[in-house]
Structure 1
Amino acid sequence: MTKGDEKPGEAARAEVLGQLMEVGRAHSAVTVMFHSAVAAKQGLNATEEKTLDYLQRKGPLTAKDLAELTGLAPASVTGLLDRLESKGFVRRVKHPTDKRRVVVELNQEKLAELAGFFEDWARDIVEACEEFSTEELRTVVRFLSVMSERQHAAATRLTR
């Protein structure tokens, strides 16, 4: 089908998909830069900062759990955890039910130092959401959930 053969709905969808790709790229770039800036304030890199986010949201995890969540190779996770432990953000402790295993838990006091960097941004998010209806926000949540799953799978493929 040539461009002239497209139905009006198809052309509009193609245009919106193109815009979505451009906006998605821009959003991705500013997200990485924001998290890099927050991380740098604490002597971290963006991967370290986001790993702390996983631990905060999911609770204590094994290195294997973190490898699966981050899509990083196990050896990379070991180095990552070594760095986070040496900086005082995490500690390795015996698993609560299987003493042969180790879990990584957050140092909550050290993590609290990062919280202030997100307070202004959280207010900005709440303010920005005021211009969207609840249904529109539900659509955004659904879209971001699907995109997160797809991007996690893509990251995992890249590390295999």
Structure 2
Amino acid sequence: MTPATPDGAPAKRRRRRLATEIKELLRELSIQLSLLNHQVGAHVDLRQVDLACLDLINRHGPLSPSAVARRAGLHPATMTGILDRLERGGWITRERDSTDRRAVALRALRDRNAELFGLYSGMNGSMDQIFAEYEENQLELLADFLRRTTDAGRAATDDLAGD
């Protein structure tokens, strides 16, 4: 064990190493989730971007096409193809506003969600097993970290989308 110096150099190095390891693990997680989403999408004939937009509509809908584009960081023109695929597949519906026919609300058709839940069940079951190994205060810490990391990712995405 390296004795601590007055300036705390060994502790600072350990902290830097841990921070680097966490960043690397987050990258690995991102890759694994991307591969999982690719496999799920292949089973239901959707692209990963389609799944992401469907998830946004499921979580935050009903939404306008421009709101989905904004949340996904996509150009509004790109949304047309995505929404067409989702609608053709029976995942969403476009509902016109009775007072303003130009206004469209996107609503997820929840009857297809069971199909997605089934495809993600292996990962969800594994996550439940992992959660069981942690105390409540540890889960709160993890939730806080993930919330803050998600916010940082959203801000970085927004910054890049604004270029």
| Conserved? CA contact 1:70–1:152, under 8 Å | no
- Spell out the pairing of 1:6-155 with structure 2 (5 A cutoff): 7-95=9-97, 99-155=101-157
Q: 1:157 to 1:106 in 2, by over 3 A?
A: same
CA drift at 1:107:
2.0
Q: 1:8 to 1:51 in 2, by over 3 A?
A: same
Give aligned-pair identity as a percent.
28
For 1:153, the aligned partner's letter is A
Runs of 4+ in structure 1 deviating by more than 3 angstroms, as ranges, are 95-100
Report the RMSD for the aligned CA atoms in angstroms.
Answer: 2.0
Q: 1:18 to 1:60 in 2, by over 3 A?
A: same
Any stretches of 5+ residues in structure 1 without a counterpart? none
- Tell me, in whole angstroms, the C-alpha distance in 2 between the residues paired with 1:12 and 1:153: 28
Which one is further off, 44-53 or 79-88? 79-88
- Structure 2 length-normalised TM: 0.86
Which one is further off, 110-119 or 122-131? 110-119
The CA deviation string for residues 8-63 of structure 1, in whole angstroms up to 9 with x for no partner, is 22111101011111111111100100111111100001111121111111121101
Q: Which has the higher contact order (CA 8 A, sep 6+)?
A: 1
Count of aligned residue pairs for this structure pair? 157
| Conserved? CA contact 1:71–1:152, under 8 Å | no
- Tell me, in whole angstroms, the C-alpha distance in 2 between the residues paired with 1:77 and 1:155: 17
The CA deviation string for residues 91-144 of structure 1, in whole angstroms up to 9 with x for no partner, is 110247755411111122233322211222222111111111111111111111
- Tell me, in whole angstroms, the C-alpha distance in 2 between the residues paired with 1:95 and 1:153: 32
- Structure 1 length-normalised TM: 0.87
